[in-house]
């Protein structure tokens, strides 16, 4: 699905996204009028201090959280004009995720974890495709391993294989190396950038690591929910 774009050539367009929450002390604005667009295959790093709104923005891009104002168009579809079921269907077709905490299914083997999203799409060649993707991430000898028998770096490589095997148009990654040691995190990130190019996915990556952020095409810095464009390639 890596080539699904709207008529402007953008895979995702974010316009004036604002998120407010209400609590006992009043209204808290978590995101202020965030706007950007990303072309197919582009990679962007979202950087900023803890609490600056990075995860909230990613949830909105995925259609998992709803903005208070503004629009997100994904592959030309206005996400928040849809009901929740239709939004989930768009997400299932176009969006992949990688999380800090891997989020593998503990009762499934590495191979079964990677087959799962293919089977949900009715893909008949799931076993072969999942096997090839696990070989691609260097885990061809770990197909039958359960997650608890894999190292953190290996688990994250399974999660990358699971995310990329359906060739999503958009991949969202929230601090995917945050629970790995530096060297392992570097290797996982290198692999993610390679897969991003091979599969033609658009990548939105939340990271604290300035070195990793610098390897993306663009950086967007959030400061207390406001956007500062750092650099454009």
Ligand X SMILES: Nc1ncnc2c1ncn2[C@@H]1O[C@H](COP(=O)(O)OP(=O)(O)O)[C@@H](O)[C@H]1O
> Contact residues for Mg ion (CB under 5 A)?
54-55
Q: Pick from 3, 9, 16, 21 the residue near ligand X by CB under 6 A.
A: 21
Q: Pick from 42, 43, 45, 56 the residue near ligand X by CB under 6 A.
A: 56
Nearest-angstrom CA–CA distance, 71 and 114: 32
Residue whose CB is less far from Mg ion, 161 or 188: 188
Torsion of CA 200, 9, 19, 164, to 10 degrees: -10
Q: Pick from 11, 42, 54, 67 the residue near ligand X by CB under 6 A.
A: 54
Binding piece for ligand X, criterion CB under 6 A, among 47-55, 153-161, 162-170, 180-188: 47-55
* 222, β-bridge pairs: 227
Rounded to a whole number of angstroms, the minimum distance from the CB of residue 76 to Mg ion is 28
Decide which of ligand X, Mg ion, none touches 2; Cβ closer than 5 to 8 Å per partner kind: none
Binding flag, residue 25, ligand X (CB under 6 A): no
Q: Which residues bind ligand X (CB under 6 A)?
A: 21, 28, 30, 48, 50-56
């Amino acid at each position: 699905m890596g080539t699904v774009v709207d008529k402007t050539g953008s895979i995702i367009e974010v316009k004036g996204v604002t998120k407010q929450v209400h609590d006992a002390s009043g209204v808290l604005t978590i995101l202020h009028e965030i706007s950007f667009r990303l072309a197919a295959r582009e990679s962007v790093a979202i950087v900023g201090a803890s609490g600056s709104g990075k995860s909230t923005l990613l949830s909105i891009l995925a259609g998992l959280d709803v903005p208070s104002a503004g629009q997100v168009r994904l592959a030309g579809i206005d996400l928040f004009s849809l009901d929740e079921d239709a939004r989930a269907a768009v997400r299932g077709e176009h969006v992949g995720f990688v999380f800090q905490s891997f989020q593998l299914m503990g009762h499934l083997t590495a191979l079964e974890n990677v087959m799962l999203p293919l089977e949900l799409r009715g893909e008949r060649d799931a076993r072969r495709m999942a096997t090839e993707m696990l070989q691609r991430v260097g885990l061809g000898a770990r197909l039958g391993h359960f997650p608890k028998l894999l190292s953190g770096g290996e688990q994250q490589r399974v999660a990358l294989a699971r995310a990329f095997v359906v060739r999503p148009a958009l991949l969202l990654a929230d601090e995917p190396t945050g629970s790995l040691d530096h060297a392992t995190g570097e290797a996982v990130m290198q692999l993610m950038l390679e897969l991003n190019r091979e599969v033609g996915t658009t990548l939105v990556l939340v990271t604290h690591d300035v070195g990793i952020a610098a390897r993306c095409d663009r950086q967007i810095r959030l400061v207390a929910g406001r956007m500062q464009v750092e650099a454009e390639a």
